[in-house]
Structure 1
């Protein structure tokens, strides 16, 4: 529904959304050819975020051995194209693909690792006292808002999980996307 076509550098990018049960799933995609669709991004509403978190937590850890495409297929993504294109549609992910979502408590962004496994990348959540921003990379978590003194050897916060000062891989791709 609400499909728009954006032309940029002779490439047609389609945006729109579809509903699966009570979940609104917004898409940005490019038709590569008659059998290939490149997914640029997916945005989920609050119910969609709950679904991806359930999907990720099936094995009880941050990363999942299930692929991102398995999650998207569980959201019936292929069914919206079957009437218009052949049934053997191939989906590929853009190099900067991000799946994002918004809830009443904050925002979430997920990226894929080299094996298309879902990994939380950016999470911003609100409490009564303050807002927190969490970047996740290389299985290390680091809260960057509010700002803490990295040289402080005292108790940083009980909200920090597996705090690490190591370089967070993947942040360069996020910066490139913004630039």
Structure 2
């Protein structure tokens, strides 16, 4: 279903990448660091507080969150603590979005990467670097790879759910002429 409006895209991790904006415009990119000195419940509490406040103060029309890679698919590339952080945050952020009645879509990693990077199965470190590079080529200024990947998710969602590509591409500082 096509719709118009704003998209909040999240690349979920203890340092979550965030991209927000209206397709066709330049997204606002940031990272939210949910880490603290305490245990997992504190991390989850900070995520609940941030997401609930964010959705109350500036509700998007669509929230898109990257799907979690199941632990069996990340064998050798993750550990128990990372798995608990990622799956827990994913659950918290999806749950709050649904409770607020905001449309939620999930983005498969390989799908948004194919859209944004041209290929969906680059190794993680390569895809992270390429996401940052792609954002810079587009004139977007990601604070780190988490925000750059959120930008890729946001861009994919804009095309997929809102049928929009940027009106202006800032590839080399030029502007599209009418």
Q: When you count strand as a share of all residues, which structure comes out higher?
A: 1
Which TM-score applies when normalising by structure 2?
0.26
Q: When you count helix as a share of all residues, which structure comes out higher?
A: 2
Q: Specify which structure has the bigger relative contact order, considering alpha-carbon pairs within 8 angstroms and separated by 6 or more residues.
A: 2
Structure whose CA Rg is larger: 1
